[in-house]
């Protein structure tokens, strides 16, 4: 009899919840395969899940700005709202498989227009990487995945706003500075 251990992803990462056990925001195949291939085997990229409240989603987002905890029920109501508007909000997460916790997040919002032959524009929003793992190309992978989704959804351009400090990061991701942002805080 062979003494080789029999392994499966679930046995290898006992805490990790595979996609088929989750309620996801959109179909995981929407995420470009090439980005998946570039990730370390301990990492997994997937759409946001309804239970990601329990996987540090809000904690990771808090490196970006103030995040107040709405509680599980309100979090899931927001998830349900986003999922009720298909082909509009694509929020992705990178999961650390050994802990089943989120370490990077990002979204692309698809704006469906009347101009340019009913064209669409992808707006990249809310990119955040856990400070313990910044500088390991996870931000780059999130941007590559979101840009790929935007292109796959037929957007004629993908845009984002950022601070001066983050311009070099987005340039590394292939983005160029163009036009100006105007804002009115309410």
Residues that bind ligand ACO (CB under 6 A): 63-64, 124-129, 134-140, 160, 162, 165-166, 168-169, 172
In the complex, the smallest distance separating the C-beta of residue 8 from ligand ACO, rounded to whole angstroms, is: 29
In the complex, the smallest distance separating the C-beta of residue 92 from ligand ACO, rounded to whole angstroms, is: 13
Short-list 164, 160, 161, 133, CA closest to 147: 160
Which residue sits closest to ligand ACO, CB atoms considered? 139
Whose Cβ is closer to ligand ACO: residue 49's or residue 104's?
104
CA–CA dist 9, 121 (Å, integer)? 37
CA–CA dist 38, 44 (Å, integer)? 10
Whose Cβ is closer to ligand ACO: residue 32's or residue 139's?
139
Whose Cβ is closer to ligand ACO: residue 35's or residue 49's?
35
Half-sphere exposure of 131 (CA within 13 A, CB side): 4
Whose Cβ is closer to ligand ACO: residue 49's or residue 143's?
143
In the complex, the smallest distance separating the C-beta of residue 124 from ligand ACO, rounded to whole angstroms, is: 5
- Both ends of the chain: CA-CA distance in Å? 70
Q: What does 131-181 look like in DSSP terms, one character per residue?
A: GGGTTSSHHHHHHHHHHHHHHHTT-SEEE----GGGHHHHHHTT----S--
In the complex, the smallest distance separating the C-beta of residue 6 from ligand ACO, rounded to whole angstroms, is: 35
CA–CA dist 88, 81 (Å, integer)? 11
Whose Cβ is closer to ligand ACO: residue 136's or residue 152's?
136
In the complex, the smallest distance separating the C-beta of residue 173 from ligand ACO, rounded to whole angstroms, is: 7
Kind plus residue range of the DSSP H or E element containing 59: helix 57-61
């Amino acid at each position: 009899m062979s003494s080789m251990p029999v392994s499966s992803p679930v046995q290898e990462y006992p805490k990790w919840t595979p996609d088929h056990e989750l309620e996801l925001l959109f179909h995981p195949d929407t995420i470009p395969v090439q980005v998946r291939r570039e990730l370390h085997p301990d990492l997994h990229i997937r759409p946001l899940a309804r239970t990601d409240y329990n996987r540090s989603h809000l904690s990771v987002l808090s490196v970006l700005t103030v995040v107040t905890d709405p509680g599980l029920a309100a979090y899931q109501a927001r998830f349900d709202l986003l999922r009720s508007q298909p082909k509009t909000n694509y929020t992705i997460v990178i999961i650390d498989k050994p802990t089943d916790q989120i370490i990077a997040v990002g979204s692309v919002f698809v704006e469906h227009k009347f101009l340019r032959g009913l064209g669409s524009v992808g707006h990249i929003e809310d990119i955040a990487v856990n400070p313990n793992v910044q500088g390991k190309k996870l931000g780059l992978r999130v941007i590559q995945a979101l840009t790929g989704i935007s292109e796959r959804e037929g957007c004629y351009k993908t845009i984002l706003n950022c601070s001066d400090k983050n311009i070099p990061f987005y340039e590394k991701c292939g983005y160029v500075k163009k036009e100006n942002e105007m804002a009115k805080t309410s």
